[in-house]
Chains A and B, each alone.
Chain A
Amino acid sequence: MTWHQKVLRVDLTAATIKTEPLNMEWADQYLGSRGLGSKYLIEGMDPTADAMSPENMLIFATGPLTGTACSTSGRYSVVTKGPLTNAIACSNSGGKFGAELKFAGYDLLILQGKSPTPVYLMIQDDKVELLPAEQYWGTTVWHTEETIKEQHSDPQIKVASIGVAGEQGVRYACIVNDLHRAAGRSGVGSVMGSKNLKAIAVRGTVGVPVADIAATRAVVKHTHKLLEDSEGRKQLTEYGTNAMIDTMNAFGGLPTNNFQAVSFDGTDKINPAAMAAIEADGHQNLINNKACFACTIGCGRIAHINKNHFSVKDRPRYHHASGGLEYETAFAFGPVLGIDDIDALTFAGYLMNEHGMDPISFGVTLAAAMELYELGIIKLEETDGIPLTFGNAEALTVMAEKTGKHEGFGQILGLGSKRMCDKYGRPELAMAVKGQEFAGYDSRALQGMGLGYATSNRGACHLKHDVFEEDMSDQSGKGKAEPCKTSQDTIAMIDSTGLCIFTAAAWGVPEFQQMVADACGDHWTEEKLIETGERIWNIERIFNLRAGLSAADDTLPPRLLETPAPSGVAKGRVAELDVMLPEYYSLRGWTPAGIPNAQTLARLALTEYA
């Protein structure tokens, strides 16, 4: 049993800290991390509460495999009600913070209420304190993390913190841990800021209990080898996730200029080959790859900005190596904005980590602002003198910084695309579902992706389903509902183990079953894991229904439903949501109104939510 069976609960209003036993009945139904956090959330708060109010809960949830010797076991989830979507938010991060929380002896950390003044939470095994954070308030993630370590004279402390964006309520502010890993999506950092909680610092020396070391060693060795030999793993290690940019560009699924086009002429300047290329002055963008805790993939990139680039020329604090381009940052600062300046993209990535913001939501919001600007709806006098034209790299770097600091037009961009486009009377230009912006895949070219976007419980998201294989072999909407539903359930299970979904390049349900059974008991069969994934998907859905969302929110913007793809393999197609969604609801055992029916609730032991 790898659980400590201990929850740390902090009431920020009352400034009380207590531990309580982990509800093992719930752990047996919801596994851990994403699933268990969702169960604690729906049981602990009113889903109709304002996401930025003290009534919202903020849950840091590890999985049963977090902190173990399994590959990629550094994952944890932040579960809360999201301020971008008013839906359930589950944001997953790697790095080392999650494992350290487990090493300190806690499975879940639950934060509720609101501190009257800025504080940070210091966890050193059993010693847990709320400490004043006035000296950190108004400063960056990087400053906060480095200074907390210095103040406590311990470089091994792991820190998860927010920047000014989270303090000021930027709707897509994230929580950054280990300087450049993040619980990135859905505005979980804004929730943390609304609670006057600047940071969580943790140092753990308890470790993770292992029942049978020999059995654990055997399953870890076996799964490590599978991953080592996997072609998909090799691609991720060598090229990082940004290898996808060439694939999507060739396919015609690369959103460009706010989804007005599906391919981009400038990918050669921002793809993995460009990152690795040595420039005329000898500079190279890519330094090396980087792995999270216990990860044997290493998809992360560490990069360097050319010191002569306009963005950092007189700013030496950005002359160090830091987190580099991944596919979603390359997409969100590149094609969707029409920009091919690799140093500008890399700098914008630094700013996202420094100030704590989701690059996808920021980039796609800026893309909508650029379209509004080019339509003459947003005026130059509103944008602090910066022309928001597609292709303008300065607009990217300046607006990223203004948004991070909540200054000038950055305050408008901080609303997210939905609220911003509503404000300007053009809601159809927001490329979002449930208020959360799309990732770098156009759902006219990838139909199953479109269904996944529309039905994702946290708003548009590319990480909650996996229909790539089906989408790349057939461009119609037929046959996409079943793999979408099945992969959603499987990924809900993987997210709840405490491992990374990229391991699915080599592992299937049988491998996860071996690891979970080793950690939690042999009653965790493959069937139980799959059923648990489906239960998790449905509990998230039930939270959203109780929060006031409905089938009307399972949709896509008119641009994708009505305007045919202008080029690529899906040229002439629109997103066929009308074909896919009814079949999806039926497969899920939901009514035509998108509500789990009585049989589904009974089958998944969810009748209490009828």
Chain B
Amino acid sequence: MQVTIKAGGAIAEYVPGGSTTLDVANDACVSTVIELLGIPSDKPLMVIVNDDLIPAVKYATTLLAQDDRLSLVQPIQAG
């Protein structure tokens, strides 16, 4: 199945052009995408699937569906 990825800030370094479409297995979860993109586990990260914020503890259990939209950004605190 295919999911679309949009990345911002420091996370865009792992997604050329800042956005892409990935082919993943039907049992793929958020962790699968993070690993595919090569984002280090210690990198501060915020993941939003469609309109849902996914806590880090649920990356490995949140299954993805066809055409899901993943936003991968920094949990930056500045203004």
B-facing residues in A471-500 (Cβ within 8 Å): 472-473, 475
A-facing residues in B16-53 (Cβ within 8 Å): 18-19, 44, 46, 48, 51-53
Chain A count of residues within 8 A CB distance of the other chain: 41
Chain B count of residues within 8 A CB distance of the other chain: 24
Interface assignment of A321: CB less than 8 Å from any CB of chain B: no
Residues of B within 8 A of A252 (CB): 51
Contact A327–B78 (Cβ < 8 Å): yes
> Residue B77 contacts which of A249, A250, A468, A571 (CB distance < 8 angstroms)?
A468
B-facing residues in A67-91 (Cβ within 8 Å): none
Given known contacts A246-B9, A246-B73, A250-B71, is B48 in contact with A241 (CB within 8 Å)? no
Interface assignment of A288: CB less than 8 Å from any CB of chain B: no
Contact A569–B9 (Cβ < 8 Å): no
Mark each residue of chain A from 219 to 236: 1 if its CB lies under 8 Å from any CB of chain B, else 0: 000000000000110011
Interface assignment of A271: CB less than 8 Å from any CB of chain B: yes
Which secondary structure dominates chain B's binding surface? mixed
**Complex CA–CA separation, A176 to B55 (angstroms):** 42
> Residue A571 contacts which of B9, B51, B76 (CB distance < 8 angstroms)?
B51
Contact B79–A243 (Cβ < 8 Å): no
**Complex CA–CA separation, A439 to B79 (angstroms):** 8
Contact A569–B53 (Cβ < 8 Å): yes
Contact A466–B77 (Cβ < 8 Å): yes
**Complex CA–CA separation, A472 to B7 (angstroms):** 17
Interface assignment of A251: CB less than 8 Å from any CB of chain B: yes
**Complex CA–CA separation, A243 to B11 (angstroms):** 10
Q: Which residue of B lies closest to A239 (CB)?
A: B9
B-facing residues in A241-269 (Cβ within 8 Å): 241, 243-247, 249-252, 267-268
**Complex CA–CA separation, A249 to B18 (angstroms):** 14
**Complex CA–CA separation, A327 to B9 (angstroms):** 12
Interface assignment of A502: CB less than 8 Å from any CB of chain B: yes
Interfacial residues, chain B to chain A (CB-CB below 8 A): 6-10, 12, 18-19, 44, 46, 48, 51-53, 55, 71-79
A to B CB contacts below 8 Å, 14 in the list: A232-B78, A239-B9, A243-B10, A246-B7, A246-B12, A247-B46, A250-B71, A251-B48, A252-B51, A268-B19, A273-B8, A327-B79, A466-B77, A469-B77
Interfacial residues, chain A to chain B (CB-CB below 8 A): 231-232, 235-236, 238-239, 241, 243-247, 249-252, 267-268, 271-273, 299, 327-328, 439-441, 462-463, 466, 468-469, 472-473, 475, 502, 505, 567-569, 571
Known: A243-B9, A569-B51. 15 other contacts (CB 8 A): A231-B44, A232-B76, A235-B9, A239-B10, A241-B79, A244-B79, A246-B8, A247-B74, A250-B46, A252-B51, A268-B19, A327-B79, A440-B79, A502-B78, A567-B51
